[in-house]
Each structure stands twice: as C-alpha cells, then as structure tokens.
Amino acid sequence: MGQPRNNPFQALLGLFMPRRCSACDQALMAFERSICTACLADLPRTRFHDDPANPVERIFHGRVRLEAASAFLRFERGGLVQHMLHRLKYRGDAEVGLELGRRMAEDAMHSPRFAQVNAALAVPLHRRKERQRGYNQSQLLVDGLREVWPLHDLGRGLLRTVRTSTQTKRGRTDRWDNVKAAFEVTGGERLRDAHVLLVDDVVTTGATLEGCARVLQEVPGVRVSVLTCACA
C-alpha cells in the first residue's frame, strides 16, 4: 500500500522541507501529525454519533438494517474537509488518511451506540482502480482507526467485482440489486458473528454502503454499523 511514512527518502526530504498541514498548507510543528492544531480545532464535527435519528441513519431507513450509522465531519464545498479528502484520494496523501482515521476513532469509539462494534472493514475499491491509485483511501482510514480503536482487522473481507454501476434510468429496487451484485464476501469464516464497522470516506446516496451491508448480512450472525469520514 502507498504509505510513505517509512520511506527513508521521504524522511531525508523532511529534514530540508517542512511538513505541511494537509488541510491549510501551513508548516506543521514537530509534534503535529498531518493536520495542524488550528485545523483540528476547526474541523466541522457532526456530533451525530449518539443520535439514532441523525441524517446518516436516515439515509438508510427502509433500505438496509444497520445497528448504527454516523459520519465524523460535515463535507462543505471548498472547506477543509473537501481539501483533505481530495489530497487523500487524488494526491497520494496517505498520512492524512491515517490521521483522519485516528481522529474518527477518538470521536466515535466512546459513543454507546458504537460500543458493540468489534471489527472494521473498508469499503473496497475495484482491483483495477486500486492499482491505478496505489491504495484504497478507505483502508487508510481503517488503518488509522485501528491504531486507536481495538477492532479486529477483517482485511479483504469484501471484494468489489463490478467497477462501476450504471445507475441511470433504473428503478429503485433494480438499482439496489445492481449495487449489491457489485460486492462479494471473501472472508466468510472470519466474518461469522462479527459486528462490523463498515468504513468509507464520504456518504452521499448511501448506495455503495448499502450494497456492502447487504452482502455482509448474508453471512450468519453478522451485524453491520457504518462510520464515514464525512457526509455531504
């Protein structure tokens, strides 16, 4: 995976070039990790975690049964969150993914609604897309999250089998079947009886997360909760 943190060349470069905040581009202090103290204080937290009727929960109502669903931050056009997620997805900034994962964990892990979660799983990218990008941004969030929150690693418990789903001019049911068909469970035995925290970078329509949750729930005893870094 494209994690530059142990790269000796990067470390050497760091001696000469100041590390910069992934949100505001200001130079970081030695103790800061990827996001400066001022930006961390300014992050637009949703504070949704304890609310069973929060807007992320409502996205999934009547579609798929989830134990809990929430998002860490509010996505604002042109804001800090958009900037960081852009760096994570398109600029190879693995460090900001790890840091956001750690902060997501600190934010959500003490909520009673997430207390039962015992394993974490990233929404997969199609293999070809992951190869192009060099990493799966949601897996970086999970890696950071698990540094703080002691959840089992389900590794590649899910596989994305269809690269894109054409969702135009299809009926609702039809479209959902389509999304569900895009995922396949590979880690069936490891998943058995797990309460999975399904992690993605952003939730918008919820179709991808719904597709993942539905196939996971076909494994006996599996329960699913959802946590995303941001919600639109």
| Residue 43 in the binding site for Zn ion (CB under 5 A) | no
| Residue 100 in the binding site for Zn ion (CB under 5 A) | no
Q: Is 39 helix (H, G, I), strand (E, B) or coil?
A: helix
Interface with Zn ion: number of residues (CB under 5 A) = 5
Closer by beta carbon to Zn ion, 12 or else 17 = 17
| Residue 39 in the binding site for Zn ion (CB under 5 A) | yes
Element (H, E) at 38: helix 37-42
Phi–psi pair at 22, nearest 5 degrees: -75, -10
| Residue 23 in the binding site for Zn ion (CB under 5 A) | yes
Q: Is 183 helix (H, G, I), strand (E, B) or coil?
A: strand
| Residue 202 in the binding site for Zn ion (CB under 5 A) | no
| Residue 151 in the binding site for Zn ion (CB under 5 A) | no
> How big is the chain, counted in residues?
232
Closer by beta carbon to Zn ion, 34 or else 228 = 34
CB contact at 8 A, 63 and 45: no
CB contact at 8 A, 206 and 46: no
Phi–psi pair at 113, nearest 5 degrees: -70, -20
| Residue 36 in the binding site for Zn ion (CB under 5 A) | yes
| Residue 21 in the binding site for Zn ion (CB under 5 A) | yes
In the complex, the smallest distance separating the C-beta of residue 18 from Zn ion, rounded to whole angstroms, is 13
Give the binding site for Zn ion (CB under 5 A): 21, 23-24, 36, 39
